[in-house]
Amino acid sequence: MAHSGLDVLLSQSSKILHRKKIGIVTHAAAIDRNLRSSIEAIGTIPGVQILRIFGPEHGLHGQAQDLIGLADQEAQGMRTQVVSLYGMTFESLKPTVEQLQDLDFLVIDLQDVGSRFYTFQATMKYCLEVALPLGLNVLVLDRPNPIGGLQVEGPSVCKGYESFVGVHPIAVRHAMTIGELAMLYRKAIEQQNPDARRGQLHVVACQDWKTDRYFDQCELPWVLPSPNMPTLDTAVVYPGQCLFEGTNLSEGRGTTRPFEICGAPWIDAIGLCQSMNKLNLPGVVFRPVWFRPTFQKHAGIDCGGVQIHVVDTKRYFPVRTSLALLIQMRNASQERFAWRSETYEFVSDPIAIDLLFGSCKERLAIEQGATWQEIAEPWKAQEEAFRDQSKAHWIYPR
């Protein structure tokens, strides 16, 4: 049985937050073992004053869809200001100096899902960039990586392709917890800004979490951390399937199985399924599906596609699998297929698919007819390099 950093903090009767004025960066999935929110649970610490609450993308309560900016509001029943860290502009992604300077501690409790694309760890990095140079102490309450801490996969972010889905050169599937990432980010921030050494970073580690465990082995309650992350199955495929956000293919938003299913109105579901299963990709089987999204891409239109059924998580490589699937779907419909050209996470250029991959290399290779194996071959060196880099910040033995 694993214990989150929040549960550990409460069980140890730690005095670190006693009689402190704090701000909390949190959301609906940050709960204790009894399903209390981190706000409610931390509020029981003697003398603690919660002056400000910060909500990440999707909002404090996880109600907003992706790419939907939220305004500041008042926490229900608390008369406490809720600052949106996902508003209408890129500048809204960071707290301001004024919002932090009257605090003794900034507490960060966010449930990540193990992918660079998932923006909660990016929000944490932005908070560290503002808080540490102020001399503000930051307390990160760690949580298990739902898809384990062993398998690193996918390309890193090249210079010039930084964005909210790539705030730092880490692998797509980074195999770290949010607490370990906090320590990695702190080092990078201090190298760029020596004033960041004025603040202290404290990480409350999980207890009894093993890096080979997925979330369903932790005996912890799952609360969807965003509207389109309803289950652990979603998190397992997400490091690859999020790439479809950079195309005009549906990634399954507007259905009850987002990211597990994908397709488009012009896709031959049976033919696509047969071609994918012939690839014999490890740990996965494809099934033809027909679906009608209720919102976002192709809303109200029947689509053909596939559902990804992961039959062996230890052998499954989500980024490589989705790369192969993306190439197959593009080749089957080149006259209808298109890369997403609209502004994505406040960036218009580079385009979304390049931000997701972390460079233009993969897109150009796809356009030139390269196989998924040829495209993924250079990733091996990047994956190994990132794994070596991350070792210095591991909390949990690998």
Q: When comparing pLDDT for 92 and 67, which is higher?
A: 92
Helix (H) or strand (E) run with residue 53 in it: strand 49-55
Domain check: are 287 and 352 in the same one?
yes
- What pLDDT was estimated at residue 13? 66
Cα–Cα distance between 120 and 195 in angstroms, integer? Answer: 24
Domain check: are 219 and 238 in the same one?
no
What is the residue-averaged pLDDT of the chain? 96
Q: What CATH number did the domain enclosing 158 receive?
A: 3.40.50.12170
Q: What is the mean pLDDT of residues 280-288?
A: 98
Domain check: are 165 and 284 in the same one?
no
Going by C-alpha positions, the residue among 140, 23, 123 that lies closest to residue 81 is 23
- What pLDDT was estimated at residue 76? 66
Domain check: are 203 and 257 in the same one?
no
365 in any annotated domain: no
Per-residue pLDDT tens over the stretch 225-253: 999 999 999 999 999 999 999 999 999 99
Domain check: are 290 and 331 in the same one?
yes
Residue pointed to by tokens 């880490």: 170
**How many domains does the structure of the chain reveal?**
2
Per-residue pLDDT tens over the stretch 341-387: 999 999 999 999 999 999 999 999 999 999 999 999 999 999 999 99
Cα–Cα distance between 165 and 355 in angstroms, integer? Answer: 7
Per-residue pLDDT tens over the stretch 128-184: 999 999 999 999 999 999 999 999 999 999 999 999 999 999 999 999 999 999 999
Query: What are φ and ψ of residue 247, in 5° steps?
Result: -135, 180
Q: What is the mean pLDDT of residues 294-320?
A: 98
Residues constituting the chain: 398
The alpha carbon of 194 is separated from its chain's Cα centroid by a whole number of angstroms, namely 28
71 in any annotated domain: yes
Residue 77, pLDDT > 70, answer: no
Query: What are φ and ψ of residue 108, in 5° steps?
Result: -120, 120
Domain check: are 217 and 335 in the same one?
no
329 in any annotated domain: yes
Q: What CATH number did the domain enclosing 298 receive?
A: 3.90.1150.140
The CA angle 334-335-339, to the nearest 5 degrees, is 65
Residue pointed to by tokens 């992350």: 229
- What pLDDT was estimated at residue 78? 67
The alpha carbon of 248 is separated from its chain's Cα centroid by a whole number of angstroms, namely 21
Cβ neighbours of residue 343 under 8 Å, at least 6 residues apart?
A: none
State which residues form the domain around 173.
5-223+387-393
Cα–Cα distance between 209 and 8 in angstroms, integer? Answer: 12
